[in-house]
Amino acid sequence: MPKPYSSSANKPSKPAPAAQVIEELRPGQSIELLKELHILTREGKLNQDTRRKLKQVYHLYQFIEPLLNDAFARNPSPSLADHGAGKSYLGFILYDLFFNVAHRAEKTSGHVYGIETRPELVAKSRELASRLGFARMSFLNLSVQEATASDQLPPVVDIITALHACDTATDDAIAFGLARQARHMVLVPCCQAEVAGVLKKGRVLSLARTPLAELWRHPLHTREFGSQITNVLRCLQLEAHGYDVTVTELVGWEHSMKNELILASRPDQARVATINAARERLTQVLDELGLGELKARFGVA
């Protein structure tokens, strides 16, 4: 008995759709990594939101790539420590763009350390690095303070990064960088309450002493001014240790309100006059604002 006729039996099969060519990506970038970081969708595509994320990644990389090149020019096997690494978004992107794309052949040394307190994120990052073949990445389940004294990192760490490190974690990262003689620091501070708390505590005395205390008389102003002055003090602290400091925006303010990028680099020749002037200004600002109890935090003897 003849088989029933099937209208689809003799139809030619459709060719498989060609893989999407994403012009924004750099040749050699890890597609699997970009999916893990949700820069590409699960289907390996870019939509409007993920395209914006990719632009932000490239924008940040433009700041850090020259620092990596400088570190390699000075040290055949430099190191970078990323504090408060979380899912190690930054460390993975730097490793992929710098080692796997820009310098696949010549950059066969150097090491990236992700420092994070949550063990489940450390374990996930280790698994992903192993799966991607990112052999010169290590992930340490440590606080920044623990990392400062840890022998799991080299005595000198060339580059320090700390993105959106909340409250005093940015200060801890600066202390780590100073202790490990970092050549470069890349800091994006996040919410900070310590200075605001001290301002609030001494508000009545400050109002009696100086009209400048009006800058932080209202609670909202106390919080905002405290955050602003914290970053000013951090910059002065870095300058007092001989660093050249640049402050700029990380991305447009429409993307994030916590957007201040502090870049600090230590020149070959320390300028004693500049260092002394920064130390003096740091002390004066702390005294003028009634923040004397924070002198140790900002490295003032």
Per-residue pLDDT of 112-130, as tens digits, reads 999 999 999 999 999 999 9
Structural domain of residue 212, as residue ranges?
191-243+266-295
Residues 56 and 97 in one domain: yes
Compute the distance between CA of residue 232 and CA of residue 192 in angstroms, rounded to an integer.
13
Looking at 190, 207, 233, the residue that finishes a domain is: 190
**pLDDT reported for residue 24:** 76
pLDDT higher than threshold 60 for residue 218:
yes
Same domain? 86 vs 148 = yes
Give 42-82 pLDDT, tens digit per residue. 888 887 877 877 887 788 889 999 999 999 999 989 999 99
Whether residue 186 has pLDDT greater than 80: yes
Do 73 and 134 belong to one domain?
A: yes
**What's the pLDDT score for residue 47?**
79
Most confident of the ranges 54-68, 86-100, 128-142, 159-173? 128-142
Band (252; pLDDT cuts 50, 70, 90): low
Does 220 share its domain with 287? yes
142 close to 152: Cβ distance less than 8 angstroms: yes
Whether 18 is in a domain gets the answer no
Overall domain count for the chain: 2
Residue 166 shares a structural domain with residue 223: no
Same domain, 49 and 79: yes
Question: What is the structure's pLDDT at 207?
Answer: 83
* One domain for residues 153 and 54: yes
pLDDT score recorded for residue 17:
38
Q: 251 lies in a domain?
A: no
The predicted pLDDT at position 89 comes to 87
- Check pLDDT > 80 for residue 273: yes
* Residue 95 token pair: 């490793």
- Is 184 contained in some domain? yes
CA–CA separation, 114 vs 143, rounded Å?
A: 11
Q: Tell me the pLDDT band of 147, cut-offs 50, 70 and 90.
A: very high
CA distance 298 to 283: 9
Please tell me whether residues 181 and 196 are part of one structural domain. Answer: no
Q: Which of 88-97, 106-115, 218-227, 229-238 has the highest mean pLDDT?
A: 229-238
Residues 123 and 133 both lie in one domain: yes
Could you tell me the pLDDT band of residue 184, with boundaries at 50, 70 and 90? very high
Judge if 37 and 178 occupy the same domain.
yes
Instruction: Give me the mean pLDDT over the 17-33 stretch.
Output: 71
165 and 207 in one domain? no
For residues 42 and 174, state if they share a domain.
Answer: yes
**Tokens (6 digits) for 131:** 């799966």
